[in-house]
Chains A and B, each alone.
Chain A
Amino acid sequence: MSSLLIAQRYAKALLQIGQKQNVIETLQNELNSVVNLVKSQPDLERLCMHPLIAPSKKAAVFDEILQTGGASETIRRFFTVVAKAARLNLIYDLATAFNGLVDQHQGILSAEVTSAHQLSEPQLNALTDSFSRRTGKKMRFVLRQDTNLLGGLKIQVGSVIYDASLQGRLRMLRARLLSA
């Protein structure tokens, strides 16, 4: 089973707890800060990823770190379960999966917008409006710049790409001319 699928299972469980106790946002913040901590500390990351350290030891060390960091009871228990199941190496996938689930729960759609030039505020608002109307969800855009596009935009929502860039149009024109 792929690691993303496993992470999905744990994330779903954590989300359900959050729903029950109505603390989804605090859980999300806590989880992300833990992940950032692991990312910033090479030693800690090695501990998480190392396959030769016994899961129970990992759990003990991790719990102690979380306790000193002042993490909530739920997060501490969650990581103990994860560590004892020898899944601590999936911590990054866990965070991705959990953030995705929270977005889904709150009706937020994440999209990646690549443009040739930086988008102005009104342009961005228009884009948000049009997409919110189309999908019926709140939009969150991750902005990127790529001069290779020459002009226009390329928007990726999930596995669908809306290509309105000059580069894409030129490619289409070339295909049309070659097939004519």
Chain B
Amino acid sequence: MDIRAEEISRIIRSQIESFDAQVDVSEIGTIISVGDGIARAHGLEKAMAGELLELPHSVMGLAFNLEEDNVGIILLGEAHLIKEGDTVKRTGRIMSIPVGPNFIGRVINPLGQPLDGKGPIEAAAYYPIERIAPTIVERKSVNQPVQTGLKAIDSLIPIGRGQRELIIGDRQTGKTAVALDAIINQKDSGIICIYVAIGQKRSTVMQVVRALEENGAMNHTIIVSATASEAAPMLYLAPFAGAAMGEYFMWHGKNGQPSGKDNPGQHALCIYDDLSKQAAAYREISLLMRRPPGREAYPGDVFYLHSRLLERAAKLSDERGGGSLTALPVIETQAGDISAYIPTNVISITDGQLFLEADLFNSNVRPAINVGISVSRVGGAAQLKAMKQVSGSLKLDLAQYRELAAFSQFGSDLDKTTLAQLNRGQRMVEILKQPQYQPMPVEKQVTIIWTASHGYLDDIPVTELRRFEQEVFAYLDINAPELLRNIKDSGQLPKDAEEALKTNILGFKEQFKASLSQATGA
């Protein structure tokens, strides 16, 4: 950079010369009590609900409670610096955070400040943290898929762009793993992912960042982090900040201009991990503010808290550019109790849920998704034709298997059809297993599910299925790459492709069986 000192002083001089100070009119209040990250102020008669307030030491506050003779303020930043008698100033602004494409690949806090030590971030715009969700006319029904790369999800519980799909389960059932796999799989899909970590350990957030970096997924990901060590207001605001981040991409095209008919909007995927901690933080603030406690001591508006957040997920109409914001909220249950207050609330708000179960997890079914009770209410419309075609019989086979599995534990004499169904079911369950950080492209998912549901795996031992899967993909990549490409591009599996797939699978199976008998024979 080459700027002479003379130049600088000229700029400053012109600034000073053009400085025409008006009488500064501001509205103030006086702090009457402070503590636990909240403060009460007298005055501020015209303060608005949710207004940003300015306190000394560049601490900011949020007008949270407007009462007859005082205003309840939640403090953001170094609350311990605030003392009784300090003045609070109105700003007239609603709280907003910087957003924009420069945030991609960064780790930030809910105020938009960088936490990763990679320098300041230039904002493209400022978006209010609380924003009314898109209206009915601005929306369109979900019609494009979000490929998570997980066979169990993409085949049975498909997720569409703009959908809200809850991930629910006990601790240690792989909820975050499902979310991370979904992020990793968006490498080439153009979906920008926002991972909001709420109330997690700093070490966990660091592991997430590292896992994403190692899998090359940080290039399309923003991480909003409000860890357990931060005050409750940060945890409460974090998901809203994440949603504001995502909304920017939904409403703007790749060129940074507002999206419209000729400027398609972008797609964003927002993961709130997890909303039970946010609800707890909100409960903490509400109780400190003396709002009356309700069920499980949550305030009365905890439903509204989550509904207004998740309502912001949307698929925009073509007139608005067709951008989308998909939400994957995460809820942690206690001992599988999904009838607790927050889980039932969020289940009723979302368009479906993925149930993760500890029993399945421990019996090595990973991802531990219970496909029986998991649903996706709108994703079916967005699913690829080819996938829809092969997953129909998968659903049926699995349902029959579950019914028989419990029953068959008693008897030993089973008729042939029952045995065949059990056999098929075991293989289906095995096929849906998938290691972490290894999302699978949709065309490969289609082929393996097609193979299994057409019975071509029935004579392969269950223990060998993992190896079969790996090798068949290697085989297809070499011998029939155009077949896979066709499925991927057209999204369909026509009759002739099915025939070609069949010959290829049978060809490979012969090889595989030969290698099997060799191994056992030796």
Contact = CB atoms under 8 A, between A and B. Distances in A.
Given A168-B24, A176-B15, A159 B70 contact: no
A177 B69 contact: no
A69 to B, nearest CB: 32
B15 A161 contact: no
B406 to A, nearest CB: 61
B449 to A, nearest CB: 58
Contact of B69 (A2, A163, A180): A2
Interface string A1-31: 0101100000000000000000000000000
Interface string A138-171: 0000000000000000001011111110001100
Contacts of A173: 16, 19, 21
B25 A160 contact: yes
Contact of A5 (B43, B46, B68): B68
Given A2-B69, A173-B19, A177-B15, A159 B44 contact: yes
B27 A169 contact: no
Nearest to A165: B24
8 shortest interchain CB distances as A-B pairs: A159-B43, A169-B21, A163-B24, A164-B23, A159-B45, A161-B26, A160-B27, A5-B69
Contact of B25 (A161, A169, A177): A161
A68 to B, nearest CB: 36
Interface of B: 11-12, 15-16, 19, 21, 23-29, 43-46, 68-70
A37 interface: no
Given A173-B16, A173-B19, A159 B68 contact: no
A176 B45 contact: no
Contact of A2 (B15, B19, B43, B70): B70
A176 B19 CA distance: 9
A162 B25 contact: yes
Contacts of A4: 69
Contact of B24 (A158, A172, A177): A172
A161 B27 contact: yes
27 contacts: A2-B70, A5-B68, A5-B69, A158-B43, A159-B27, A159-B45, A160-B25, A160-B28, A161-B25, A161-B27, A162-B23, A162-B24, A162-B25, A163-B23, A163-B25, A164-B24, A168-B24, A169-B21, A169-B24, A172-B19, A173-B19, A173-B21, A176-B15, A176-B19, A177-B12, A177-B16, A180-B15
A176 B16 CA distance: 9
Contacts of A163: 23-26
A180 B10 CA distance: 13
A108 B29 CA distance: 21
User: Which of B15, B24, B27, B28 counts the most chain A CB atoms within 10 A?
Assistant: B24
A5 B29 CA distance: 17
A160 B25 CA distance: 7
Given A160-B27, A161-B27, A162-B25, 7 more contacts: A156-B28, A158-B45, A163-B26, A169-B21, A173-B19, A173-B21, A180-B15
Given A2-B70, A5-B69, A176-B19, A161 B12 contact: no
Contacts of A156: 28
Contacts of A180: 11, 15
Given A2-B70, A5-B68, A173-B21, A159 B15 contact: no
User: Which of B23, B45, B70 counts the most chain A CB atoms within 10 A?
Assistant: B23
Contacts of A159: 27-29, 43-46
Given A4-B69, A177-B12, A180-B15, A172 B21 contact: yes
Nearest to B26: A161
Interface in A25-48: none
A169 B23 CA distance: 8
A5 B16 CA distance: 47
Nearest to A3: B69
Nearest to A153: B23
B11 to A, nearest CB: 8
A160 B16 contact: no
A19 B312 CA distance: 56
Nearest to A180: B15
Contacts of B12: 177
Contacts of B26: 160-161, 163
Contacts of B23: 162-164
